[in-house]
Amino acid sequence: MTRPIPLPLRPITLPLRAIVLILRPIASLAVLGILACHGPAPEPPDPSAGQAASTPVRWIKPQHPSEHLTLFAMPAVAVAAADARQAVALSTRAQVETVFVRAGDRVLAGAPLVDVRVPEWVQAAAQRQATQTRLAAQQKYLASLKSLRGEGLARTGDVFQIETQVAELQALRAEAESRLRGAGLDDAAVSELIAKGHLTLRARQDGLVRQVTAVAGATVEPGQPPLLVVESPRAVRIEVHLHQPLPQGGTWVFRQTSGVDLPLQPTPVAQSADAEDGSQIMWFDAASPDQTLPAGTRGQLVLGHVADDIWAIPVAALINAQGAPQVIVSGDSGGRAVSVQVVGMAGSIALVRGLSADLRIADPADRALPAAGATP
């Protein structure tokens, strides 16, 4: 086989003019590409252009407020009357001997609740009794001395000494009585303390035992929670904190967490401002004085019924024209402004007077302003 003879490689030499003619189109294309990448982007079309003019006005009918009453629900709680709760508590160290009731028991006035042994009370009762006995004897002796002194048979110094002893005994008796009165013990309770060494605490009025923390044999220190709590039925009063004006023209109910509604008086019995959060505090009584609830029962203050001339509309359907609320009502020649009375607001719903079921109003009202000729 004959091998091919290799040919020598020689560099190709082009003239400068030919090289320029070849590179010029390539450079032009590169410049155009750079300008295309870094040049100003076209501005996007304005989405709002022509939208307002093309969006039609939505005409709606006023709705009955019953569909929106839950929007006007506000947290509320039942508060107790001053004499509705009896908290059996002790202001001094004591020992529980016997507990006669448990939570859920109904008791009558005077029923025994718990036996307690209070050493301080026993000591005060014994001091009172002993001082009273000594005082009676000293007063009798003083009267005899004064009689003898009148006859010249007793000295003035002896009389003065007995008078001093009588004054000291009177001071001791007053001290013991003040301690017993401070504990709320009358003469019958003091006699019981002296006779038995312990005291039976009793119910002041008919009621229901709601809480029992007393344990037989336990020692109770001052400041501990009450041994037990007795609640008596009283007329309901509901407390609510409002952060917006209370809607007018309706009746109110207290809706308990169980779902049971308790009708209330249409107007609050009192109201005040809360200095902490700036809310308005209102108190409502039950519609019937026979209605009772335990203190602390939680629920909601809810609109139960509203007047027939009150309607619910979106807040956006209201405009402020010359300082008065108005709505745009559909008519034969376009929209017209109609004045309304706002009686309440909650969220996006407003309760108003001045409309009827056959009217159609603009929502939102500002889209119908040019047609109505009103100014927001």
Q: Which of 216, 199, 166 is nearest to 92 (CA)?
A: 199
Q: Return the structure tokens found at 335.
A: 């929209």
284 near 250, Cβ under 8 Å? no
Q: What is the pLDDT of residue 299?
A: 92
Rg (C-alpha) for the chain, rounded Å, is 46
The residues with which 117 forms a beta bridge, in sequence order, are 95
Close Cβ partners of 162 (under 8 Å, ≥ 6 residues apart): 138, 141, 142, 145
What is the distance between the alpha carbons of residues 308 and 353, in angstroms, rounded to a whole number? 9
* pTM summary value: 0.55
> Residue 47 has what pLDDT?
44
Identify the architecture of domain 70-82+235-306 in CATH: Beta Barrel (2.40)
Task: Select the CATH number that applies to the domain covering 85-116+198-232 from these four: 2.60.120.10, 2.40.50.100, 3.40.50.150, 2.60.40.1930.
Answer: 2.40.50.100
DSSP letters spanning 284-329? EEBSSTT-B--TT-EEEEEEEEE-TTEEEEEGGG-EEETTEEEEEE
**Residue 27 corresponds to which tokens in the numbers above?**
């450079």
As separate numbers, helices (DSSP H) first and strands (DSSP E) second, the chain gives 6, 23
Chain Cα centroid distance, residue 325: 32
**Whether domain 58-65+309-372 has CATH 2.40.420.20:** yes
pLDDT of residue 31: 44
| β-pairing verdict for 280-285 and 270-273 | antiparallel
What phi, psi does 71 have (nearest 5°)? -65, -20
User: Domain locations in the chain?
Assistant: 58-65+309-372, 70-82+235-306, 85-116+198-232, 119-196
Q: Check if 58-65+309-372 and 85-116+198-232 are the same fold.
A: no
- Tens digit of pLDDT per residue, the chain (376 long)? 455 555 454 545 555 555 545 556 555 555 445 444 454 544 544 444 444 444 567 888 888 777 666 667 888 999 878 788 889 998 889 999 999 999 999 999 999 999 999 999 888 998 998 999 999 999 998 898 888 888 888 888 888 999 999 999 999 999 999 988 888 888 888 888 888 889 999 999 899 999 999 999 999 998 899 999 998 877 789 999 887 777 776 788 899 888 888 999 888 899 898 888 888 899 999 988 888 887 788 999 888 777 778 888 888 889 887 778 988 888 766 678 888 988 887 778 888 888 988 889 888 887 777 555 444 4
Q: Which residue has the tokens 């005040």?
A: 272
